[in-house]
Structure 1
Amino acid sequence: MSKGKDTEAAGAVHQYLIKQNRPYSATDIFSNLHQKYGKTSVVRVCEELAKEGEIIEKIYGKQKVYCADQGKLPSVNENELKEMDESIKQLNDRLKTSREKCRESEQVLSSLNSSISTEDAKIKITDLSQKIKHGEDKLKSLKSAGNHVTEKEKEAIYNLHSKNMKHWRKRKRMTKDILDAILEGYPKTKKTLYEEIGIETDEEYNVQLPQ
């Protein structure tokens, strides 16, 4: 690299360290300056600036870090420090508010992304409208039908059903009592008896009496 390029790199490194006012390694400086200057050049100018007393060099094991010489930075009075602190506080408040707004916007965006699209909503509305109309037409047809069951007829059906269930239970109980009496003197199993006389049970056909 030319001498002029090194001079330019030295000025850029020096100004960067003054502006940031925090320690960096030569590699960090090379990256943070967007690799505008060669890494070898940045390492060389850091060492030269340190030798000239323009910047401070600190060695931690095998690692070298560089920072601006605090003694050469302009002094700041108490009022300026207070103004800086107040400015920092205001900026932090603005940052907090911006983060909250960003979080709210992300929640809204997430909600919108998970919602049904306008086109899908239109299709769903059309489908539901057709189903509602079909249901209404069916209900209207049922209400206007002339063959519907009257309350009196419905009551008669329920009474007949109840009567038949009582007969069913009674006859089932009588049959069981008779068969149990036969089995007391029957030398074979109940299954054999049922097969010989042709008895079929509700349980055999998974039939249960209504409650």
Structure 2
Amino acid sequence: MASDAVLKYLVDTNRPYSCADITVNLRGAFTKTAVQKALDALSESAKIKCKLYGKQKVYAAIQPETVPVDNDKEEDYETQFKVVAKSLEEQSEALKTSESKLKLLISTPTTDTAISLTNDARTRIEVLESKLNVLRTSTQVLSPEEKRKVSELHSKLLSEYRKRKRICSDMIETMMEGYPKSKKTFLEELCVETDDMVGFKLMT
């Protein structure tokens, strides 16, 4: 049974552990739910100690009085509980930080993809600017339907431009986290030019 295995493990090791630690150390012999139920039952029957630190519970066996105690080597469970609880808290925070960075990296396009998207955008911008110059110098009057189509296309391209610019900015900020120099130096090394650097002004 899980209760017997958990109690024997705590008595043999004579150290405090959390439910997750015990589940792992028993090498998957029981599920975490089964281990937790066993710990609750053993704690209620006063066969083990349970200490609560914040949201984390830590358990330790109550050793029989017949076991000889070496006062010089007797463990300070209170101190151990605090150390374990602090370690678990730090690891939980580190895990949350790593998960956040992982989500950002997964949602960010690769460098090759970003370069390809940027080149495609520049090509389309050149084509559209060429068409825009023709329209500016043309005396031909557009029909309402043509104006509507032009307006819809402009709105679509404007939205796409802002979206890709945001993706590019997020990607740069992510890479800057481990970069020791300034952002200006970083952009120069990658041969990246911002709107401000080339004097580009968006027509909205």
Question: Which of the two has greater helix per residue?
Answer: 1
**Is the TM value for this pair above 0.5?**
no
Larger Rg: 1
Higher relative contact order by CA 8 Å / sep ≥ 6: 1 or 2?
2
Q: TM-score range by the shorter chain?
A: 0.3 to 0.5
After TM superposition, the score normalised by the length of structure 1 is 0.34
